[in-house]
Structure 1
Amino acid sequence: MAPIDHVVTSGTFNLDGGSFDVDNNVWIVGDEREVFVIDAAHDASAIAAAVGDRRVKAIVCTHAHDDHVNQAPALADRFDAPIMLNPAERVLWDMTWPDRTPDLELEDGQQLSAGGVDLRVLQTPGHSPGSSCLYAPELGVVFTGDTMFNGGPGATGRSYSSFDTIIESIRTTLLTLPGETQVRTGHGDSTKIGDEAPHLEEWIARGH
C-alpha cells in the first residue's frame, strides 16, 4: 500500500461572517497497519472508508479553520485517536468546537511517526497563528495545509492572519527544503518547492 492516500472532500469554510464553498485535500499517511489523518475535512465517512481497518495514530490538524477540523472530533471518536493541534490555533478551534479540547499539542521540530513514516512538524504561522506543515524527508514530501499552494501563499485577508508572517514562514522554512520536495496542499493541485521558490518576490509585490 502506498504511504500516502488522498481523499477530496467538499463543504464550506466559514469565518468573519462569510461562508465559502471549498474542496479540501485530506491526506492519510502511513502503511497497511497504522496511519495519520491530516486535516479531517467535511466527510467523516469518506475519510473513514479510506482509512479502512487501519489504526489511526492521530488526527493531525495543520490549522484550525473550520473546513480543516469540522470532522476531527467525529473521526477521533470513531478511531479512538487523539487530535493534535498547535496551541496558538485555539482561538480558531474554539469557534468551531468550544466544548471539545484538542488532545495533544503540535510543536515546532516535533517528530511524529506512524506506519514507518516520520513527519517533522514545521511551524509556519501566517495563514493562521499556529499553522503547521508536516515534512516527511524519506518520502520527499511536505504537507503544507493552507500555508503554501500551487501558485502562491495561502490567504491572509481574514482574522488572525498576516501576509508578512506567511511570507517569512515560506522563505525561512519551506523554501529551505530540497527543491524536489513534493508539496501536498490543503486545497487544489500539488506542486514542488523548486517550482514555487522562483516566484517569492512576485508574491511579495502582489501582496503589498
Structure 2
Amino acid sequence: MAARIDHLTTSGTFTLDGGTWEVDNNVWIVGDDTEAIVVDAAHDAAAIERALAGRRVVAIVCTHAHNDHIDAAPALADATGAPILLHPDDRPLWELTHPDRAPDGELSDGQTITVAGTELTVVHTPGHAPGAVCLHAPALGTVFTGDTLFAGGPGATGRSFSDFPTIIDSIRDRLLTLPPETVVRTGHGESTTIGAEAPHLQEWIDRGH
C-alpha cells in the first residue's frame, strides 16, 4: 500500500517573548496502515495517537521548535516509542518548552526519512526559526512547510530567533524551485501550491521592508 497523508487540526496556545496567542495547528501523518511519521506533534498527544490507530511511528518530526508545534511531542513519544527529531539550530527554542527532555535525534539538510516505501527529504529553511525545516515528498507531490511558507506568504519573523531576509532566501532558493504543482501543506491554515505562491515573491519582499 502506498503512503497516504492524514490530517488533523489541534488547538492550543503559542507562547513567545512574553505573549500568548490561541492557535489551531495542522498535524500531518504520513504512512500506510502499518507505519507512519508524525509531522509536528501539536497540543493533543491523545488525539494524534487516536489518529495513528495503532500504527508504528517511525519518527515524530518537528518542522521547528516553537511550543505550539512541539508541546505534545514528549507525551506522544512516550506513548508510541517513536524518536523526536529536530534540527539542532532550534535546540534553544526547544529548551524554552522542554528544558528537561532533549530530542532523540537531529535533522540535517538533505537527510531522507523513509516511511511506507516513500522518501521525505529534509530541507533546511531558516528564517521563521533558525532550525526550521520542510519535508519534501516528491512521490506524493507535496512539501510540508511548517511555518516557513503559508497560503499567502512567508511565516512570521517579528519575534525572537527569526529573520525576514533569511526566510525570503529560504523560500526563494529552497521552496520556489520545486515543481509548481507541488502541494504546500502548512503548519496552520489552508494548503496551497508552489505555483500559486511563486509569483508573489516580490510582493512579500516589498511588504517586509
Query: Which TM bucket (shorter chain)?
Result: over 0.9
Alpha-carbon distance, 1:161 to partner? 0.1
Q: Within 5 Å, which residues of 2 pair with 1:22-41?
A: 22-41=23-42
Give the structure 1 partner of residue 195 of structure 2. 194
3-state SS, counterpart of residue 173 of structure 1: helix
Residues 1-208 of structure 1 correspond to what in structure 2 (within 5 A)?
Answer: 3-208=4-209
What TM-score, normalized by structure 1, do the two folds share? 0.99
Give me the TM-score of the superposition, normalised by structure 2: 0.98
Amino acid in the other structure paired with 1:196: E
After superposition, what is the alpha-carbon deviation per residue over 1:23-79, rounded to whole angstroms, capped at 9, x for unaligned?
000000011100000000011111111001100001000000000000000000100
Residue identity opposite 1:158 in structure 2 = R
Question: 1:3–1:117: 8 Å Cα contact kept in structure 2?
Answer: no
- The alignment-based identity, stated in percent, is 67
Runs of 4 or more, structure 1, over 6 Å off, are none
Unmatched runs of 5 consecutive residues or more in structure 1: none
CA contact 1:84–1:105 (8 Å) conserved in 2: yes
Count of equivalent residues: 208
The 3-state SS of whatever aligns with 2:93 is: helix
Q: Structure 1 counterpart of 2:67, which letter?
A: D
Unaligned runs of 5+ in 2: none
Distance in structure 1 (CA, Å) of the matches to 2:99 and 2:208: 33
Contact 1:36 1:114 in 2 (8 A): yes
Q: CA RMSD in A?
A: 0.8
Stretch moving more, 90-99 or 1-10: 1-10
Give the whole-Å Cα distance in 1 for the aligned partners of 2:174 and 2:26: 22
Name the CA distance, whole Å, in 1 between partners of 2:49 and 2:112: 25
